[in-house]
Chain A
């Protein structure tokens, strides 16, 4: 897949790909931000970073993989000062995301998924990214490449995260 160099076709292509994989934005934002306003901010940051990184997307991996990598890395680094300057150029209203309706979809998904979402939100930044990528079907090699970790490190961390989630879940049930 070759990306057009001129501005208008490149933007069309980017927008089309973004449209096809929108849920990734919401899921990552939900995992990292408890408040809806913060989720909107994070989604803005992710979209802008995706746009900037888009010239480097060469099609060797899927756009979903590319998007996941950018999204979790932006989420992890979300609280750097730079993100606030970027956000002014891309008002969340232009994206017309109904985050409240998307939240309702999550809430109606079942108690176990709601509990999972809450458990993920209690993890540290890197662990959240690990769990999200694991749930979205990526193997250890792919997760490691996205986050700058070795596959072994990913496996170890995921194992510890599973144990922690089990413990925390057991405590809330008692």
Chain B
């Protein structure tokens, strides 16, 4: 090397002069470049569109099947109506899938970000409406669908063999749930709309592949904005911090998920067992009422577990630590409230449990054989026990009701708090 020193300012002119020589070596095919630019990023939604196509095919199969069932069961008004009711839901699902597939194929991803986001938001809104109607409608229609399938597959008309009250309770519950669910959805959207956690929950509800495709597109759009603003240095530092954080909390996060799954695994067979009891004891009020009470209690806990698990899956552990800790505490507080209520009303669940177990194990109608005086005594004892349990503050009891999810949420939150200060936003 023949320079005595490195003078950047002195080398500037010669550095700039390199451009001519370099420029001569770099040539590209503008047409090929234009084609490539037009093709890019469609892959983010190409996979979702492929899954939509698969969905459309399965919708078509379901439609054809239900039409065939309706034709086969036309002699039985109840079965025919059941098939038509479910058919209407499938028609709605098919129309939504078809609309989404058509619009995504026509979507220009080179359009301004806001225009693309608006189209995607409208597609998601329609998907969520359909999903909501199907989920709420399934409460009333799962039993009619079962009747249709049993009739077509085995020639068994469940409407003749199962007491009418079983169907009546399901349909009434479904009809009540529809407006109630719509009201809850509206209230949640008004309260939490726009918040990242809520938006991610909506993306989840719109389907796994939708969520993946949209997340990918949003990430690319956000990266563009970040790079264009010149914040790449901050981006790199944030990436490194996020990776470290994820590594630090991986184990407590996995443990929390495991306890939530444990809750689900414990509750599902209990729920199915009680549901079977209710179906087989239709029309027997003394059995059905306790069965429904237990069913409701188990269902509430199952829904809470699933909602908690979904919320934990959606946690942006790599993001703002304060927000993640706040989310964990928010979820844990709601589970704790439910656990407290469960502990307080637990004495009232003993009698229904006794009735169900008595019938299943011993074939005994507990309410029928126990003297009225004893029943009154049980009620009084339940009132007293509930009053005593109101004063219970034992976090251990609440944690047991939640299968350990409360304690593990606290452990995870503590791990996040313990992270070095420069990793916390």
* Contact (Cβ within 8 A) B15 A113: yes
Max chain B Cβ within 10 angstroms of own Cβ: one of A47, A82, A111, A148: A148
Task: Determine the residue in chain B with the shortest Cβ distance to A47.
Answer: B33
Q: Which residues of A contact B233 (CB under 8 A)?
A: 76, 125-126, 147-149
Interface mask (A136-174 → B, CB under 8 Å = 1, otherwise 0): 110000000111110000000010001001100100110
Q: Are A88 and B43 also in contact (CB < 8 A) when A77-B227, A96-B29 are?
A: yes
Q: Are A116 and B6 also in contact (CB < 8 A) when A23-B19, A86-B220 are?
A: yes
Interface mask (B219-262 → A, CB under 8 Å = 1, otherwise 0): 11001101111111111100100000000000000000000000
* Contact (Cβ within 8 A) A69 B230: yes
* Contact (Cβ within 8 A) B235 A98: no
CB of A1 closer than 8 Å to a CB of B: no
Complex CA–CA separation, A158 to B339 (angstroms): 60
Q: Which residues of B contact A110 (CB under 8 A)?
A: 14
Interface mask (A43-75 → B, CB under 8 Å = 1, otherwise 0): 000011101110110000000000001101111
Q: Tell me whether chain A's interface is mostly helix, strand or loop, or mixed.
A: helix
In this complex, how many residues of chain B approach chain A with their Cβ under 8 Å: the count is 54
Q: Are A82 and B11 also in contact (CB < 8 A) when A19-B28, A22-B22 are?
A: no
Interface mask (B103-114 → A, CB under 8 Å = 1, otherwise 0): 000001010100
* Contact (Cβ within 8 A) B1 A116: no
* Contact (Cβ within 8 A) A91 B26: no
Pairs of residues from A and B, 9 with the lowest C-beta to C-beta distance, nearest first: A89-B40, A73-B232, A101-B25, A94-B32, A105-B21, A76-B232, A23-B19, A102-B25, A23-B22
28 A-B residue pairs with Cβ-Cβ distance under 8 Å, sorted by A, are A7-B110, A12-B34, A14-B37, A22-B28, A27-B22, A51-B37, A69-B230, A70-B228, A72-B232, A73-B231, A76-B232, A85-B216, A90-B33, A94-B28, A94-B32, A97-B26, A98-B26, A102-B22, A102-B26, A104-B25, A105-B21, A109-B14, A113-B15, A119-B6, A137-B12, A147-B233, A148-B232, A158-B8
Which residues of A are interface residues toward B (Cβ below 8 A)?
A: 7-8, 11-12, 14-15, 18-19, 22-23, 25-27, 47-49, 51-53, 55-56, 69-70, 72-77, 80, 82, 85-86, 88-91, 94-99, 101-102, 104-106, 109-113, 115-116, 119, 125-126, 131, 134-137, 145-149, 158, 162, 165-166, 169, 172-173
